[in-house]
Amino acid sequence: MVEKEKIYKEKGTGNNEMFPSDPYGSLDDFFSEKTLFFIDAGFLSKLSKHFGKGDYVKFKIKDFVKKICSKESVFPKKVFYYTAPPYQSSTPNKREIEKKENYDRFKHSLVKEGVIFREGRIQRLKIDNKFIYKQKGVDTLLTIDLSHIKEDYPLVKKIILVSSDTDFVPVIEDIKNRKIEVILYTYFDRIRGSPFSLSNHLLKSSSRWIKLKEEDLYEK
């Protein structure tokens, strides 16, 4: 996956609870033992740019999760977020430093709110005298965590996965064989050459799937 130029930025709200059930509620009161929420950040970033017609749509991860959970009438025990920090050269330039500082603030805001933040790395390649950036290890981390669900969270009966990556098909099928429901939130179109062309294999592998809409990310 190619690194995106922009990271969703979270602004402080003064509220350290990610998904409060009420103004005085606690995370323990809100979280359920039976549902986990997994976010492929590379996919979500690409989708925000698509919905923004070339510009990244600004939205808060916690608001996005709350909307999806409201639709499903669930409260996640844990939210996992998979991404990679921006590339840093051996002597970072001003732009690289700024991107890393923004990323660190974003990461801190989510971790503070209880999100499990999982990071791969960015690989820089030079092709035809142009640098391209690809995430490495991110999908592997997500696959590992998915494969350990039954052992790490024995009470979990359902997961919500936000992604469009067909590499997850085998682990999704394995999870279903372990009697865990897999709800896929994804996006696709039928345009030839589109970055959102999607194999039916991924859709069929899930227990059920939902196509994401613009209003799932932000209020139009």
Output the pLDDT for position 33.
66
**Is 186 exposed, middle or buried, given 0-12, 13-18 or 19+ CB atoms closer than 10 A?**
buried
* CB contact set of 95 (below 8 Å; sequence gap of 6+): none
Is residue 217's pLDDT more than 80? yes
- pTM for this model (two decimals): 0.81
pLDDT in tens, 78-92: 999 999 998 888 898
Instruction: Using alpha carbons, select from 210, 195, 166 the residue that is nearest to residue 40.
Output: 166
Kindly report, residue by residue over 48-100, the tens digit of the pLDDT: 999 998 898 889 999 999 999 999 999 999 999 999 998 888 898 999 999 99
Residue boundaries of the structural domains of the chain: 27-217
Residue 199's pLDDT is 72
CA-to-CA distance for 14 and 210, rounded, in angstroms? 33
* Residues 182/176, Cβ–Cβ less than 8 Å: yes
| 27-217, CATH topology level | Rossmann fold (3.40.50)
Q: Pick 79 or 196 by higher pLDDT.
A: 79
DSSP 3-state of 5: coil
pLDDT number for residue 23: 34
